[in-house]
Amino acid sequence: MGRAPQEMFPIFILLLLLSLLESGAAAAGGGLDYREALNKAIIFFEGQRSGNLPSSNRVTWRRDSALSDGSFQHVDLVGGYYDAGDNVKFNFPMSYTATMLSWSVLEYGRKMKSLSELENARDAIRWATDYLLKCAVHLSAGRLYVGVGDPGQDHLCWERPEDMDTPRTPYWVTSHTPGSEVAAETAAAMAAASLVFRRSDPAYSSRLLKTAKQVFRFANSYRGSYGDSLQSAVCPYYCSYSGYQDELLWGAAWLLRATNDLRYLKFIKKIKVNGLPDLFSWDNKYAGAYVLLSKWAVVKKDGRFNAYKEGAEHFMCAVLPKHLSPASTTTYTPGGLMYKLPEYNMQYVTSITFLMTTYAKYIASTKTLFYCGDNSITRHTLRSQAKTQVDYILGKNPKRMSYMVGFGEYFPRRIHHRGSSLPSTAANPSHLSCNYGFEYFYHTSKSNPNILTGAIVGGP
């Protein structure tokens, strides 16, 4: 499946926490403070920011960085988010991050507002979409920028973002060197965000939606994988192993939700789906698209979407434990954690569990249920299972360890993250060169000097 972007995990834990808080599960948290965890999950994104940081940035050990991104091509590509613990901007997972953050606001915005977190969440989305709009500035000339930074050179150095002297190479896809998956995901991010800002900033919302339509048209008109076009610039880091059909489905689904234009439904009906998924990730969007589209069938009783409702329920049956679903294809550890793949398992735990809580919300609104074999599955079944996964991540596990950095007393203190592992520029204003930084991380067992609040590590 390729690598797992570290920033993906806080998105889903954020969504899960919102679901549990909304459903009243916080009262049964068993000593776990879900509100605190939610606050930290949003702060995480401020630690990943690239560009000119505002004075309100709550991760105080970070400073401005990468202020000349795109200058060699005479385009402004400043901003966006760094990927995981690196200093590269990969637009494929970053756009997915923005899409999912927007989904969280659309589903749980009222709860966020009551907890005084809505504006922070909007800021996190806008930090990504402002950058993505810049990446589409040359779309009329057939060029979409999809990342900045040389991953090969970046991995040879261990530097703070503020000290970077590795190449800030921009990458792009064109009609001749296409990238349907990254373009369609970019369109999804903009379409979803347009809904978030529709009332609070109508002009910005309109700009996002207009650009989303253009980028999606580009993705569909010039089909091909960006891994084939860009090769070592994105592979093996973020190759798309699932192909680009799932992103076309996902992008069209978000545009349908943002526009109610039935031409997108007609397009969606033509997408060929290979098999039924039991995974949801930055690469494979089929299950997410099914749950997103199922809302029309479950909540609005629109029979044209019944196939996606069935697909969503098949997915639920595949990921629930065996004692709840005889059709399960998912392993659970003795401690109760979902286990999908050996590397960076936590990303799958959080993303899959998010879909559980979202579908639980949909069926709760109509007081319906579904069956896995002979077992009836209700909203309570899905929420209860989701809660066990959230609680495991936050410390209710055999190690009694929180996998969220900065949450609880016992959490990971030495994580693979350049900025966190090196002294801040305030503590050490001297330039730390490419190789010198390795002394601070690879050649020591000390805790990182800076806490990357809200980060969630790959898993036990």
Structure tokens belonging to residue 86: 């690196």
Question: Can 416 be counted among the known catalytic residues?
Answer: yes
Distance, CA of 394 to CA of 254 (rounded, Å)? 31
Contact status, residue 255 vs residue 293, Cβ threshold 8 Å: no
Closest CA to 459 of 401, 373, 376, 377: 401
The residue assigned the tokens 């401005």 is: 64
Radius of gyration (C-alpha) of the chain in whole angstroms: 21
Among 74, 155, 416, 417, the active-site one is 416
Contact status, residue 343 vs residue 458, Cβ threshold 8 Å: yes
What are the CA-CA distances from residue 79 to residues 74, 76, 91, 124 (Å)?
15, 9, 12, 12
The residue assigned the tokens 């999950």 is: 41
Contact status, residue 242 vs residue 182, Cβ threshold 8 Å: no
Distance, CA of 313 to CA of 377 (rounded, Å)? 9
Q: Which residues belong to the active site? A: 416
